Amino acid sequence: MTQLKVAVVGVGHLGQHHARIAYESPQADLVAVVDPDEKRGSLIADKYSARWVSDWSAIADEVNVLQIAAPTIHHHRLGIEAIKLDKHILMEKPLASNLEESQLLYAAHEQSLTSSTSLVRAVGHLERFNPVVGALRDKKFIPRFLETVRVSPFPMRSIEVDVVLDVMIHDLDLIRALVGRPIIDVEAFGIPVLTKQADLVNARIKFEGGTVAILTASRVAQKKERTLRVFGHQSYAKLNFAEQTMELLTLVKGDTGFKIKNENISIQECEPLKIEIEQFYRACLGLEGEYVSWAEGYEALKVADLVQRAVQKSLSEIEST
């Protein structure tokens, strides 16, 4: 099989897993890891038999895939440079650290397509590849009301962006994909607790057609929770992303009238990041492979921006009272 030549850019908490998966994949050859931190870069490079470089200019000619897992504040600049190099790119989520940067990055990508249309540009919204989401889709569930909770203790990482871009962005992308209708209204409340940016946010999003989603994201919780509760017509599903479980309750007709059927849907556990990367590789190789496009990453940023504006408005209201 033809192998892709891969460099992983940024091998911190998440990038190390990109490197491991690239190293283990039969579709890829991990050529290098790129990280300005020599100690960290060399450690991960040695572990996965790759070269460490501090800057990708040294290996740009040797690779055709860049997986960027550097801090979000660098996504825009690295993305623009990677586009100029004509590479397949998997950019970690969020696509960039604000709406303007995302717009510029997406525009640069669109322009580049005229000369290199076969290049894949994906964004790492890995929850789409969580098997619980596949199980929900298999049930042809039509959501009328959704409630997401994504909370964790303070991470000490990714605090250069607020909790909307760091954490809630997963759910913003997911609910957009599940509902599939335009957003018509966004309300939100959020507060900084341990950083200068919002660490805790609650948002209410209304879609055309009347579906509503309520999202809570926090990085100042005591325990980790990553769940989605979805209500549809005579049905309710509870998804646990971390434990990869799904409970489905449906109203069914029995011999003595209607009753609630409660099912624990059987789900084959897997690593969503691995599925996401393997699918991305397939797409790069011209095979059938699913990925979340930069267009979708940009759309998620547009919703995140609406949430952030609503949070700012609510904060200014608190401050002025």
Nearer to ligand NAD, 79 or 143 (CB): 79
- Contact with ligand NAD (CB under 6 A): which of 15, 143, 190, 232? 15
Give the C-alpha separation, 243 to 235, whole Å: 21
One-letter amino acid identity for 32? A
CB of residue 55 to ligand NAD, shortest distance in Å:
8
Nearer to ligand NAD, 13 or 181 (CB): 13
- Contact with ligand NAD (CB under 6 A): which of 6, 21, 28, 34? 34
Cα 285 to Cα 1, 119, 278: the distances in Å are: 10, 10, 11
DSSP category for residue 85: T
- Residue whose tokens read 């607020």: 162
Nearer to ligand NAD, 10 or 131 (CB): 10
- Contact with ligand NAD (CB under 6 A): which of 4, 7, 14, 310? 14
CB of residue 263 to ligand NAD, shortest distance in Å:
28
Map residue 297 onto helix, strand or coil: helix
CB of residue 187 to ligand NAD, shortest distance in Å:
25
Cα 217 to Cα 151, 164, 167: the distances in Å are: 5, 7, 7
| Residue/partner pairs of 208-212 with CB below 8 Å, 24 or more apart | 208/181, 208/182, 208/183, 208/184, 209/181, 210/144, 211/143, 211/144, 211/145, 211/146, 211/179, 211/181, 212/145, 212/146
Nearer to ligand NAD, 78 or 283 (CB): 78
Asked if residue 94 has a cis previous peptide bond (ω within 30° of 0), the answer is: yes
- Contact with ligand NAD (CB under 6 A): which of 9, 120, 133, 301? 9
Binding mask 137-176 for ligand NAD (x = CB under 6 A): --------------------xx-------x----------
**134 contributes a contact to ligand NAD by CB under 6 A:** no
CB of residue 277 to ligand NAD, shortest distance in Å:
11
Binding mask 195-224 for ligand NAD (x = CB under 6 A): ------------------------------
CB of residue 170 to ligand NAD, shortest distance in Å:
7
Nearer to ligand NAD, 28 or 162 (CB): 162
CA angle 131, 134, 140 (to 5 degrees): 150
Within residues 52-111, the interface with ligand NAD by CB under 6 A covers: 69-72, 74, 92-93
- Contact with ligand NAD (CB under 6 A): which of 79, 124, 131, 297? 124
**246 contributes a contact to ligand NAD by CB under 6 A:** no
Two tokens, residue 123: 């964004």
- Contact with ligand NAD (CB under 6 A): which of 65, 89, 126, 292? 126
Q: Which residues contact 203 (CB under 8 A, 6 or more apart)?
A: 168, 186, 187, 188, 189, 214, 215, 307, 310
Q: Are 83 and 89 in contact (CB under 8 A)?
A: yes
Q: Which residues contact 22 (CB under 8 A, 6 or more apart)?
A: 6, 8, 28, 30, 48, 67, 277
**130 contributes a contact to ligand NAD by CB under 6 A:** no
Q: Are 260 and 236 in contact (CB under 8 A)?
A: no
Q: Are 246 and 238 in contact (CB under 8 A)?
A: yes
- Contact with ligand NAD (CB under 6 A): which of 3, 25, 40, 110? 40
Binding site for ligand NAD (CB under 6 A): 9-15, 34-37, 40, 69-72, 74, 92-93, 124, 126, 157-158, 166
